[in-house]
A and B are shown apart, each in its own frame.
Chain A
Amino acid sequence: MIPLLRKEFLIEWRAREALATALLTGLLLLVVLSFAFDPTSPLRREAAPGAFWVTVVFSGVLAIGRSFVADRENDCLQGLLLAPLDRGTIFLAKVFAQTAFLLAAQLLLVPLFIVFFDLPLSAHLLPWLLALVLVGVGLSAAGILLAAIAVQTRAKEILLPLLLVPLAVPLLLAGLRVSQRAFAGKPLGEAVAWLHLAVGFDVIVLVVGWLLFEYVVED
């Protein structure tokens, strides 16, 4: 696992593919969405959770879509498959690395988001950030599995968002409900159940992905 993680981070450090994609797309979406609402309208704050998760999902999907670029060049994925290691390990390494890239990009966007949407500093940041981590893990795990399928098809660019966005709906709802309460400065209350849902989603996609990855990548 460690050599694979080291490889993922080294390639990302040199190419900055995932981070730059997620960061730039996220920034662009934040700017466009912040322009969509009147700065003086209370609607702006109400729309903030939705705007934030739209940004996370679309920038995440684009970054995940680039996750197999280095592995496809020179057929490197085949090289990894030839090695005597559990193929689920390749999946887990890619998920951990992708989650780290997504979270790094989102954490850079959070301060901008607070400014653009004029969020009160009394907002409960911790549950919001926890939801961000849980959504990041689930989105990456489901995304890497689906990207491994999509990369073998001719319509890879369009197939990944078509499969991933509907699958990620429970995660998005969880993120949305938690951040609605967090931005309003309210304690989590019944929104805790949504965090549990996100944890459940993450565990399921991680286990399913780990078990299925071998079959997805072989001929």
Chain B
Amino acid sequence: MSNEREIVTLVELRGVAKRYGPQWALVEVDLRCGRAESIALLGPNGAGKSTLLRILAGVTRPTRGRILWGGQEVALASASWGRKRIGFVGHRSFLYTSLSVRENLMLYASLYGLANPAQRVAELLGRFGLSFVQDRAVSHLSRGLEQRAALARALLHDPELLLLDEPFTGLDVEACAALMELLREERARGVSVVLATHDFQVAEALCERVVILVGGKFEHDGPLPASVESVYQAVVAARRQALA
């Protein structure tokens, strides 16, 4: 196909497995994420989506397997340079509730070693429409504003890869649309995205590739189909039938 572009690998998981006690959360997973690529990670609850994102983010150590950044292997202990390239947004915002939005962003900007944290924070507050609540404690924000602040926190250091773990959980329609618009802007800027979600419409709107994870294994990995939901239902049904 003429519209297929060459994808340069940004991060790669090879044979990654994770066990919690006797339970395997991930079983021998291989994943390659290219620069400016966006991947939707789908799967039922407990499929291992969050574990996969946490391993990519360098906060969970895999039981087995390797993580490669730009072809170079990274050990968790020395993963701080890898963490500089990642932004992570979960369903929790990682923001201290008794601190204001600005104080939270300044804290994280300092931890990421930004050269001019105040300027970067002011820029993001403006871009994300948070200036009017910058001095408000996070505990006094609506869920939508808090999640917008969480995205601002994740983008403070201009990451190359954005990991999103069900970021739309608990948001109303308006807040969802606002967050979606901000994520589209990041996509347009060339940021790679791995999005774990249960929402097929969100996956269709934001991603170009779909990975379906069931019971810690990849059951499907391919370009965005015409209907994500029908592919998902077929894959999950086939997996359940195989287990029955």
Chain A interface residues (CB < 8 Å from chain B)? 2-4, 6-7, 10-11, 14-15, 70, 73-76, 78-86, 214, 218-219
Contact = CB atoms under 8 A, between A and B. Distances in A.
A217 to B, nearest CB: 9
Interface of B: 20, 54, 57-61, 76-77, 80-81, 83-84, 86, 88, 90, 92-99, 103, 106-108, 110-113, 138, 153
9 contacts: A6-B107, A11-B98, A70-B96, A73-B97, A74-B138, A79-B153, A82-B58, A82-B94, A84-B113
Contacts, number: 78
A101 B202 CA distance: 47
Nearest to B103: A10
Contacts of A82: 57-59, 83, 86, 88, 94
A84 B93 CA distance: 18
Contact of A214 (B77, B84, B107): B77
Contacts of B57: 82
B59, B61, B84 interface centre (most CB from chain A within 10 Å): B59
A83 B185 CA distance: 23
Q: Which 4 A-B residue pairings sit nearest by Cβ, starting from the closest? A: A79-B94, A3-B110, A84-B80, A75-B92
B98 to A, nearest CB: 5
A70 B107 contact: no
A21 B19 CA distance: 39
A81 B98 contact: no
A219 B20 contact: yes
Contacts of A11: 96, 98-99
B81 A84 contact: yes
A2, A76, A84, A219 interface centre (most CB from chain B within 10 Å): A84
B61 A219 contact: yes
Contact of B93 (A10, A74, A81): A74
Given A10-B103, A82-B83, A74 B96 contact: yes
Contact of B98 (A14, A79, A83): A14
A68 to B, nearest CB: 12
Given A7-B107, A82-B57, A82-B88, 16 more contacts: A10-B99, A14-B99, A15-B98, A73-B97, A74-B96, A74-B138, A75-B90, A75-B94, A76-B95, A76-B96, A79-B153, A80-B111, A83-B108, A84-B80, A84-B81, A84-B111
A74 B98 contact: no
B112 A84 contact: yes
A76 B96 CA distance: 6
A75 B61 CA distance: 18
Contacts of B98: 10-11, 14-15, 70
Nearest to B117: A3
Contacts of B83: 82-84
A79 B113 contact: no
A83 B112 contact: yes
A14 to B, nearest CB: 5
B60 A219 contact: yes
B150 to A, nearest CB: 9
A210 to B, nearest CB: 14
A76 B20 CA distance: 22
Contacts of A15: 98
Nearest to B51: A219
B99 A218 contact: no
A81 B93 CA distance: 14
Contacts of B61: 218-219
B2 to A, nearest CB: 39
A70 B103 CA distance: 15
A11, A14, A76 interface centre (most CB from chain B within 10 Å): A76
A154 to B, nearest CB: 15
A5 to B, nearest CB: 11
A72 to B, nearest CB: 10
Contacts of A85: 80, 111
